């Protein structure tokens, strides 16, 4: 259930050092985007175009791109062209002052630590895709359909009295796994999970891997990836599940696939698990979060689905497709496959949905 976060209210914070956030065109909240020229930044630029709550007001990137129009400086890798309004914006340096109170960060982790912390301390609400702050005890790590109540943790952050907040989304593969596991864990209980991932090239960033390294190949290791999955998954699920993980990079442009084997707390039929997924809906208590689909889980009954080529764009890229559910030999009980768009549900869309959650939970006021 999503409640109003404790201590979060317009009268609970000092306003003297808070950045102003006047509602702009159509009453929408101005947004600053950091790391705007990277692949996650590009997806956020596209998703913010025409957004009902937010408008892109500022874009920032590395010094070498700063000072140029976004449309000229961004090495655009998505289909089509950058939205015209975004293309006209002038890229700022990451060190430049930020006017917008709401900041979406697509920065790499090395840069995110100091920059995001400084912004939160100066009264900005920062929604970050970086891994830097995810496991901090006072930083909510949120998949909105699963643990929106975690937004209450911002009240424990040292910069909260000055109006600042820092909210994180998960690793791109955890986002899909968490959504697939959450309804099962709540209804049945999960003792342990074994996860084998097949992760897309785009997860390696704008330039991905060298063509000769990944073409016709499978790389059975991704630096720093395996270490993130178990702790992030348990933090989102508020659980203590034993998780074994093997991660793999595969020559697929977009879409992270995971083979998942579960040991459950009680015996269950495959029909019951499928019914749990089929009946799962976005919690009504979330209110109007425009980026989230009503049905975030899509059940595929074909024996060879889900597949990135066919199922990547379920629910506009924000859906998680599950299939190949079957009985598994001991020590596991069931096995299945989950697929999510790593760039949308796992990164840009996750960050944007968390910003929407902040907007609907009293962290700042939207003037209509």
Residues with catalytic function:
172, 256
- For residue 26 the two structure tokens come to 């159509």
The helix (run of H) or strand (run of E) holding residue 327 is strand 320-327
275, 276, 282, 284: CA torsion to nearest 10? 100
User: Where are the extended beta strands (E) located within 106-174?
Assistant: 125-128, 165-168
Q: Is 20 helix (H, G, I), strand (E, B) or coil?
A: coil
In 10 A of CB 285, how many CB atoms? 10
Q: How far apart are CA 166 and CA 133, in angstroms?
A: 8
222 touches 342 (CB < 8 A): no
Residue listed under structure tokens 């009980």 = 333
Q: How far apart are CA 106 and CA 112, in angstroms?
A: 8
Percentages helix, strand, coil for the chain (3-state, rounded to 5) are: 35, 20, 45
Q: How far apart are CA 140 and CA 154, in angstroms?
A: 7
């Amino acid at each position: 259930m999503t409640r109003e976060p404790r201590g979060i209210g317009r009268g609970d914070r000092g306003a003297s050092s808070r950045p102003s956030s006047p509602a702009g065109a159509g009453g929408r909240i101005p947004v600053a985007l950091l790391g705007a020229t990277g692949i996650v930044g590009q997806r956020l630029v596209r998703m913010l175009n025409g957004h009902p709550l937010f408008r892109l007001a500022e874009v920032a990137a590395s010094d070498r791109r700063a000072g140029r129009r976004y449309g000229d400086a961004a090495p655009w890798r998505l289909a089509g062209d950058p939205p015209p309004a975004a293309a006209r914006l002038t890229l700022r340096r990451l060190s430049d002052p930020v006017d917008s109170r709401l900041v979406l960060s697509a920065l790499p982790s090395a840069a995110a630590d100091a920059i995001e912390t400084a912004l939160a301390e100066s009264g900005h609400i920062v929604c970050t895709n970086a891994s830097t702050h995810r496991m901090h005890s006072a930083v909510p790590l949120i998949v909105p359909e699963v643990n929106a109540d975690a937004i209450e943790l911002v009240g424990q952050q040292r910069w909260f009295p000055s109006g600042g907040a820092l909210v994180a989304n998960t690793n791109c593969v955890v986002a899909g796994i968490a959504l697939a596991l959450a309804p099962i864990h709540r209804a049945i209980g999960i003792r342990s999970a074994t996860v084998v991932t097949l992760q897309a090239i785009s997860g390696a960033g704008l330039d991905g891997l060298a063509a000769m390294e990944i073409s016709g190949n499978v790389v059975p290791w991704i630096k720093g990836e395996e270490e993130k999955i178990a702790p992030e998954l348990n933090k989102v699920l508020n659980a203590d599940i034993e998780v074994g993980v093997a991660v793999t990079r595969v020559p697929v442009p977009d879409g992270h696939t995971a083979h998942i084997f579960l040991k459950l707390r009680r015996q269950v039929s495959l029909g019951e698990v499928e019914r749990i997924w089929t009946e799962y809906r976005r919690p009504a208590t979330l209110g109007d979060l425009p980026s989230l689909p009503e049905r975030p889980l899509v059940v595929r009954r074909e024996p060879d689905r889900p597949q990135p080529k066919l199922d990547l764009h379920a629910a506009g890229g924000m859906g998680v497709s599950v299939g190949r559910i079957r009985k598994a030999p001991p020590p596991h009980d069931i096995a299945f496959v989950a697929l999510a768009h790593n760039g949308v549900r796992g990164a840009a869309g996750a960050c944007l949905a968390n910003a929407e959650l902040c907007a609907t939970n009293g962290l700042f006021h939207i003037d209509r």
